[in-house]
Structure 1
Amino acid sequence: MMRALLFLVAMCLAGGASAHKPSDSYLVLNVAGKNVSGQWDIALRDLDVAIGLDQDGNGELTWDEVRARHGAIAAYALARLKLASAGVACPLRVTEHLLDEHSDGAYAVLRLQASCADDIVALDADYRLLFDIDPQHKGLLRLTNRTQTSTAIFTPDSPLQKLQVQDASRWRQFFDYVKHGVWHIWIGFDHILFLLALLLPAVLVWRAAGWQGRDTFRASFIEVLKVVTAFTLAHSITLTLATLGVVSLPSRVVESAIAASVLLAALNNIRPVFERSRALVAFVFGLIHGFGFASVLLDLGLPKTALLLSLVGFNVGVEVGQLAIVAVFLPLAFAARRTFAYRRVVLVGGSTLIALIALVWLFERLFDFKVMS
């Protein structure tokens, strides 16, 4: 039990050590008959890593440097996106190069055109951009056909997708977003480490200036239930408000605040300040994490007709992913709660590592530089 718990914590910390804001690209495709048009926004920082844009090596990209690599950018992108209809390839071409600014930096914008042999009923998409470089990369797709809109998210686990152009199933879209919500929480190492920092002391109680194991599994379960419920309620509120456009915060502010929440939660395990109010802390910081969850849906630019379904499905997926982590962690932690190894190595040692990782994240996100690869 103890070895399994140490392995679980070590895996979370190992993933967290390389975690920063995962890269996304934004693909919009418009289908009309047998023709496809659209645009593809790809972060310049990702293209610089993939094919090298910074020719003078000074760490800053200029328009001349990007323009000089237009051919290489187009070749790299088109080699990693293939479209087909009814088993017949629809060759893509780049018709224009532009630049745009997103919340996390500058993006190359590729205007796309393709023609298929016949009118498109379903479009097969094979997306492979950056998966060999960044396993956390996602391709966010919005597909339109007259008044109908559907969405998809490409990940290393789902690079091939059949996109229904006509009569797209709303239930399929719902379950796709459930899956994407699960995936988002599992690769969101800052969210995982925050949750882990709150869960580590849930099987303990602070008495006589020291941590002691709780007497019953029921007491530990209730403590976990309060923390998880508070976190869920809070991030569901801000996820909904941010996705509906009611409240908006800059990406750097949100990402920095998330890092700060991980840091404070971990430090509290080393020297408890709010030992009896972890649920309140989970709620307060959960409000910030909700903005982080919302960034995926906001970046898709979903129309109002698809927004509610996608929002509910994504939120359900986040909860399923979160509960899966709790289901694995709680029995192991409870079994090991009275051991010296759990109280000192897992709780104090693990919390110290979490705090150090979060501190690096905080400086990276506040000052926009990268310490960890």
Structure 2
Amino acid sequence: GNHKAIVNINNLSRVFSAANAKQTFNFSQSSYLSTFNQYVYQGILHIWIGIDHILFLIALLLTCVLTRTEKQWQGISSKKQIIKHTAWIVTAFTLAHSITLTTTAMNLVSPNSRWVELGIALSVLFAALNNVWPLVLRLGWVTFAFGLLHGMGFASVLGELGLSSDYQLLSIVAFNLGVEIGQLSILLIALPVLISIRGYQWYKKWLMPVGSFAIALIALQWSIERF
């Protein structure tokens, strides 16, 4: 399944899973670099298989290319403005989840994982429904608040994975960097597509609302399951 085990031998840390059951230890290689690479990889992997985090990001991106005027969504004409707006949203999310990932992984805070998972599901639900029935148009602070929950979710995965006994802080930083790389790769695929279709009426009237509503339904199911 998705179970993973971390093995430390002579300061070398390796993560074993069903897909990566055999590994070669090279003790001439820097254990510092090996640990860093392992945790960056796990961070990237987690964001790609963490469908709740991906859907939250996509729900936010769907309206990053649009502006609300006279109760109607309109495509933002300036690409520079879109990139600036998107950068603000992504930075708020990144900063927030970096804070809670680090503090939770270092046991400075110990949130209840059940409530964190429920909170993450509700954050996806809110972000999706807000696209259909906009309550909040400036999403920076809301994204930051929800990002704190997502960071706790990332930390629980890191907790299951385990930290390198010799390089604890490096493990956290590398895992967080992996999450950022994974997040950025999704952004680099989704944003150019959304920019290219933002002006079409079918996107504003149909694809964005229907896509948001579909995400909301999935998030509602998660919310009920996790309650």
Shorter-chain TM range is: over 0.9
Go from structure 1 to structure 2 and tell me whether the alpha carbon gap of 1:263 and 1:181 turns closer, same or farther (over 3 Å shift).
same
Structure 2 alignment gaps of length 5 or more: none
Letter in 2 for 1:231: F
Give 1:207's match in structure 2, choosing from 69, 72, 75: 69
Q: Is the 8 A contact 1:153 1:180 kept in 2?
A: no
Q: Could you tell me which residue of structure 2 aligns to residue 112 of structure 1?
A: none
**Deviation sequence 1:214-248 (CA, Å, 0-9, x none):** 01111110111000000000000000000110001
Look at both structures and tell me which one has the larger radius of gyration over its CA atoms.
Answer: 1
Counterparts of residues 354-373 of structure 1 (less than 5 Å): 354-366=215-227
Q: Could you tell me which residue of structure 2 aligns to residue 139 of structure 1?
A: 4
**Deviation sequence 1:25-75 (CA, Å, 0-9, x none):** xxxxxxxxxxxxxxxxxxxxxxxxxxxxxxxxxxxxxxxxxxxxxxxxxxx
**Deviation sequence 1:57-112 (CA, Å, 0-9, x none):** xxxxxxxxxxxxxxxxxxxxxxxxxxxxxxxxxxxxxxxxxxxxxxxxxxxxxxxx
Q: Is the 8 A contact 2:12 2:34 kept in 1?
A: no
Counterparts of residues 1-373 of structure 1 (less than 5 Å): 130=1, 137-144=2-9, 148=11, 150-154=13-17, 156=19, 158-163=20-25, 169-275=31-137, 277-302=138-163, 305-366=166-227
Q: Secondary structure at the match of 1:249?
A: coil
Go from structure 1 to structure 2 and tell me whether the alpha carbon gap of 1:211 and 1:246 turns closer, same or farther (over 3 Å shift).
same
Q: Displacement of 1:154 after TM fit?
A: 2.3
- Alpha-carbon distance in structure 1 between the residues aligned to 2:16 and 2:83: 35
Q: Percent identity?
A: 45
Q: Displacement of 1:166 after TM fit?
A: 8.3
Count of residues in correspondence between the two structures: 227
More helix by percentage: 2
Structure 2 length-normalised TM = 0.93
Q: Is the 8 A contact 1:202 1:223 kept in 2?
A: yes
Go from structure 1 to structure 2 and tell me whether the alpha carbon gap of 1:153 and 1:347 turns closer, same or farther (over 3 Å shift).
farther
- Alpha-carbon distance in structure 2 between the residues aligned to 1:233 and 1:328: 21
Q: Displacement of 1:153 after TM fit?
A: 4.3
- Alpha-carbon distance in structure 1 between the residues aligned to 2:106 and 2:97: 14
What's the RMSD between the two structures over aligned residues?
1.8
Q: Displacement of 1:305 after TM fit?
A: 2.6
Q: Displacement of 1:169 after TM fit?
A: 1.7
- Alpha-carbon distance in structure 2 between the residues aligned to 1:154 and 1:217: 42
More strand by percentage: 1
Structure 1 length-normalised TM = 0.58
Q: Is the 8 A contact 1:181 1:315 kept in 2?
A: yes
Q: Which has the higher contact order (CA 8 A, sep 6+)?
A: 2
Q: Is the 8 A contact 2:6 2:162 kept in 1?
A: no
Q: Displacement of 1:300 after TM fit?
A: 3.4
Letter in 2 for 1:358: A
Q: Could you tell me which residue of structure 2 aligns to residue 3 of structure 1?
A: none
Q: Is the 8 A contact 1:149 1:306 kept in 2?
A: no
Q: Could you tell me which residue of structure 2 aligns to residue 73 of structure 1?
A: none
**Deviation sequence 1:337-360 (CA, Å, 0-9, x none):** 011221133210000000000000
